[in-house]
Structure 1
Amino acid sequence: MSVSPPPPGPRTILLTGAAGGLGTLMRELLPEHGYELRLLDVRPIPDAPDAIVADLNDTEALREAVRGVDGVLHLAGISLESTFDKILESNIKGTYHLYEAVRAEGESRADGVAPRIVFASSNHAVGFTPRPRTEDGAPLVPVETLRRPDTYYGLSKSFGEDLAQFYWDKFGQETVSVRIGSCFKEPTDVRMMSVWMSPADGARLFHAALSAENVGHTVVYGSSANTRLWWDLTSARALGYEPQDDSEEYAENLLAEFGPLSDENPAHLYMGGRFINDPPIWPY
C-alpha cells in the first residue's frame, strides 16, 4: 500500500466507535497516513488501555475527548436497525452532543476554529433509491439524489447529514459526510460488489476528508472503484480521494455462490438491499 505524506491539516484525530468493526480497521490503517489517534468507545478496547470509555451522551467526557484534537472521525453509534428509542439515544442525540462538544472546543481556541468532523453516514440514508441499472447504461447515482432512508438507522444518518449542514451554515463547522457502503476485507455477496469499500480505500477516503481544504459540508459516497459501482464518486475524488481497489476480483466466486441480482428479490431492487425488507437487528 502506498502511504501518503503527512497531511498539512489534522494530525491528532479523535476516533469514536473505535472498538467497532470499522473502527478496528481504521485503528490499524490511519496511522499509516500520519495520524495519531485518540480512541473513544462505549466498550473497553483490550489492546488500548488509554482509550476513553464513554457513552455519546456523556457530555463531560465528550468535551474532554475533543480537547486539543485536530479532527474527529465519528464512527460511533448503532450500525444496524434497532428501535427508534435506541437509535434516538445513540445516533441522534449522541451525534448532536458530539457536535456541541466540538463547537465548544472551537470557541475555546484562540483562532475560533473547531476541529473538522468526518461523519460516518450511510448508503441507507438513500436506501429506498432504486438501484441503478448501470449494466444497461443507467447513470451513476449522484450525492444530490433525494434522501430516502430505509430504516430508523438510515433515518438517523439523514439526520446526521442535516445536522452537519446546519452546523456549517450556523456556526461554520466543517464536516465531510461519508455515505459508507460496506467496508469489509472483501465483499460477501453480489450486491455488496457495487457498494464495497476496501479497508485500504476507506483509510484513503477518510484521510482525504480530514486533510482537504475548504470542505464546508461535503457529502460523498464511500466505496472503492468497483466495476459494478452504483454511485458517482465525483465529490469524493474532488477531496483528493483516489480509490485503488475493485470488487470485481471476487465476482466469479460470488456469482457462482449466489447468482446475479434478480428483480424477484426485493432486496435487489433498491440500493439499501435487505435493509428494505429484512434488516439486520442490532443485538444490544
Structure 2
Amino acid sequence: MIVRLLITGAAGGVGTLLRPLLAHPDRVLRLLDVAELPDTGDGAERVQASVTDLPAMVEACQDVDAVLHLGGLSTEHAWDDILSVNIDGTYKVFEAAHRAGVPRVVFASTNHTVGFHPRDGQEAPDYLFPRPDTYYGVSKVAGEALGSLYHDRYGMDVVCLRIGGCFAKPLDTRMLETWLSPRDAADLVAAALSTPEPGFKVVWGVSDNTRRWWSLAEARAIGYHPRDDAEVYADEVPQADERYLGRLGGAFCSPDLDGGGRQAGRT
C-alpha cells in the first residue's frame, strides 16, 4: 500500500487535476513544485523545490513509498531548457529515488515520444519504438530510457505512462482520439502504483474513446479499466489542424517548432 506518495510538478495542469483524485484517508501526498503550492486543507505535505536540485530531491524522497514524476516542461522549449529541466531533472528524480530507497517510480511520458510515426490506420501498439517529434518528445524518450536503466541496474519498479491530452475536457477533434480524462488518469496512476512487481513497463495513457487508436492492452494488464469516452464532447470541440493529423504527434510535427523556437500549446 502506498502510504506516502511524492508528486513532482504538483502545481502543474495534470498535477492540479490529479491532486484531489489521488487523495486517500490512508495516504499522505507529498507535493513538490518549483512554484508555491496552496494549502487546500487536505493535509498534504508541501515542498517548494526544483527537480534539478539533487540534494532537495533526495530529501523529498525520504520515507516515500513511490514517486509520481509529473515535473518538467510540458511543451516544446529551447534545447538548453529541455536538457536542464526535463532530461537532467528526470535523472535527478530517479537518482534521488534510488538513493532514498524508493521502490517505485511512475513517470509521466507522452505520446510525443513517437510523434513522427505515420498514422497508418492500424492501432498504435504498446512499446512503439521511439520516433519523437520535438525536443520535448526526445526528453521523454530519455526519461523512459532512464526508467529502464534504474529498473535493470537497481531493481526499481518503473511504469512509464505515454499520456495523450489530459484536460478536464478534450480541446479539439484530435483529442477525441487521444483524451485522457482526469478520472481515468487517476485510475491509471492508481493501477501503476498498485500492480504487483511491474518491473519496467510502458503503457498508453488514454481513455477508452470511441475514436481511440492507441492500444490499451498493456494498461489493462496492470489493472487499468478506463471509464470515460471523449465522444460525449464531439459536438462542442473545434476542428483540429488537419495538416498534421497524418502523424501520431499531430501539430507537434509542425515545422513551426523546428529547433524549439516556438512552444507547442497542446498535447
Task: Look up the equivalent residue of 2:198 and give its one-letter code.
Answer: V
Is 1:120 matched with 2:115? no
Distance 1:198 1:33 in 2: 23
1:204 aligned partner: 187
Q: How much does 1:47 deviate? A: 2.7
* 2:17 is the alignment partner of 1:25: yes
Question: Identity across aligned pairs (percent)?
Answer: 47
Within 2, Cα distance between the matches of 1:168 and 1:50? 27
Asked if 1:179 is matched to 2:162, the reply is: yes
**When the two structures are superposed, what TM-score results if normalisation uses the length of structure 2?**
0.91
Instruction: Indicate conservation of the 8 Å contact 1:78/1:282, yes or no.
Output: no
Residue of structure 2 in register with 1:46 after alignment: 38
Cα distance, 1:34–1:21 mapped onto 2, change above 3 Å: farther
Q: Does the 8 A contact of 1:79 with 1:282 survive in 2?
A: no
Contact conserved, 1:182 with 1:195, CA < 8 A, in 2? Answer: yes
Alpha-carbon shift at residue 115 of structure 1 (Å): 2.6
Residue 6 (structure 1) aligns with = none
1:146 CA displacement = 1.6
Contact map agreement 2:29 2:45 (CA 8 A) in 1: no
> Deviation digits for residues 192-246 of structure 1, max 9, x if unmatched?
1111000000000000000100110110000100010011011100111000000
Q: Secondary structure at the match of 1:189?
A: coil
1-structure distance, mates of 2:112, 2:200: 19
2:131 paired residue number = 148
Alignment partner of 1:281 out of 260, 263, 267: 263
**Unaligned 5+ runs, structure 2:** none
CA distance in 2, matches of 1:132, 1:12: 43
Counterpart pick for 2:119 among 104, 127, 131: 131
Distance apart, 1:67 and its partner CA: 0.3
Give the letter aligned to residue 81 of structure 2. Answer: K
How is 1:157-196 mapped onto 2 (pairs within 5 angstroms)?
157-196=140-179
- Inter-partner Cα distance in structure 2 for 1:129 and 1:282: 18
Question: 2:213 is aligned with what amino acid?
Answer: W
Residues 271, 282 of structure 1: CA spacing in aligned structure 2 closer, same or farther, 3 A cutoff? closer
Compute the displacement of 1:144 (Å).
Answer: 2.4
Question: Which residue of 2 is the match for residue 14 of structure 1?
Answer: 6
Structure 1 outlier segments of 4+, above 3 Å: 32-35
Deviation string, structure 1 residues 62-110 (Cα, Å, up to 9, x no partner): 111000011000000000000111000001000111111111111xxxx
RMSD value over aligned CA atoms? 1.8
Deviation string 1:114-145 (CA, Å, 9 cap, x unpaired) is: 33000000000011111242xxxx3x111222
| Residue in structure 1 matched with residue 86 of structure 2 by the alignment | 91
Distance 2:85 2:110 in 1: 15
Contact 1:120 1:179 in 2 (8 A): yes
Cα distance change of structure 1 residues 16 and 253 upon mapping to structure 2, 3 Å threshold: same
1:123–1:150 CA distance, 2 compared to 1 (3 A): same
What is the CA–CA distance in structure 2 between the aligned matches of 1:271 and 1:33, rounded to whole Å? Answer: 39
For these two proteins, the number of residue pairs brought into alignment is 257
Separation (CA, whole Å) in 1 of partners of 2:236 and 2:96: 46
Q: CA 1:80–1:208 in structure 2 vs 1: closer, same or farther (change >3 Å)? A: same
- Asked if structure 2 preserves the Cα contact closer than 8 Å seen for 1:143 and 1:219, the reply is yes
Distance change (3 Å), C-alpha of 1:213 and 1:33: farther
User: Which consecutive residues of structure 1, in runs of 5 or more, have no partner in the other structure?
Assistant: 1-8, 107-113
* Residue 237 (structure 1) aligns with: 220
